[in-house]
Amino acid sequence: MRLSARVDYALRAAVALAGYGDRWVSAEQIAEDQGIPRKFLESILLQLRRGGIAASKRGSEGGHQLARPGGEISLADVIRAVDGPLVGVRGERPEQVSYSGTATALTNVWIALRVSERNILESVSLAAVASDDLPTSVTKLLEDPDAWVIRGA
């Protein structure tokens, strides 16, 4: 799985907002705290607002905050808001891709991959990341020594 810089920044910004709680926070503060280029962050915050993840308010008391509690927003929600569906094959949903001959089963592999990603990304909330309190299902995966082994190029 490859995460674009946009998705990485969006996740970091959303987790930062979860960490700020109910406070309104400026884009400048988020950019500084997370090392995200300000112009890039403005675009991401717009996508998060459009996706129902974040809210914004103008004025001296304004800024950005989550649109709902961080415990109710999953990492998958953020990824979908800025990047669309979790798994795509050539820009299409896995169930819309078909192969012939010996490659026929690849469609099933892509769908299984989507299920695995959903199981993790939908179970981890922004609040869980912000408080470093990941679900047991995730921390259990990290206990496997092979989880930390880099394979391939």
The DSSP string of the chain is ----HHHHHHHHHHHHHHHHTT--B-HHHHHHHHT--HHHHHHHHHHHHHTTSEEEE-STT-EEEESS-GGG-BHHHHHHHHH-SS--BTTB-GGG----GGGTTHHHHHHHHHHHHHHHHTT-BHHHHHTT---HHHHHHHTSGGGG-----
Tokens found for residue 57: 């308010």
CA distances from 93 to 50, 136, 151 (A): 22, 29, 27
Contact in structure between 83 and 2 (CB atoms under 8 Å): no
| pLDDT tens for the 153 residues of the chain, in order | 778 999 999 999 999 999 999 999 999 999 999 999 999 999 999 999 999 999 999 988 889 999 999 999 999 999 999 998 887 787 788 788 888 899 999 989 988 988 999 999 999 999 999 999 999 999 999 999 998 898 876
CATH of 5-143 among 1.10.10.10, 1.10.540.10, 3.30.429.10, 3.90.76.10: 1.10.10.10
- The span from the CA of 134 to the CA of 121, in Å, is 11
Q: Classify strands 63-66 and 54-57 as parallel, antiparallel or unpaired.
A: antiparallel
Contact in structure between 74 and 119 (CB atoms under 8 Å): no
pLDDT of residue 95: 82
| For the chain, domain boundaries | 5-143
**3-state DSSP call for residue 128?**
helix
pTM of the entire structure? Answer: 0.88
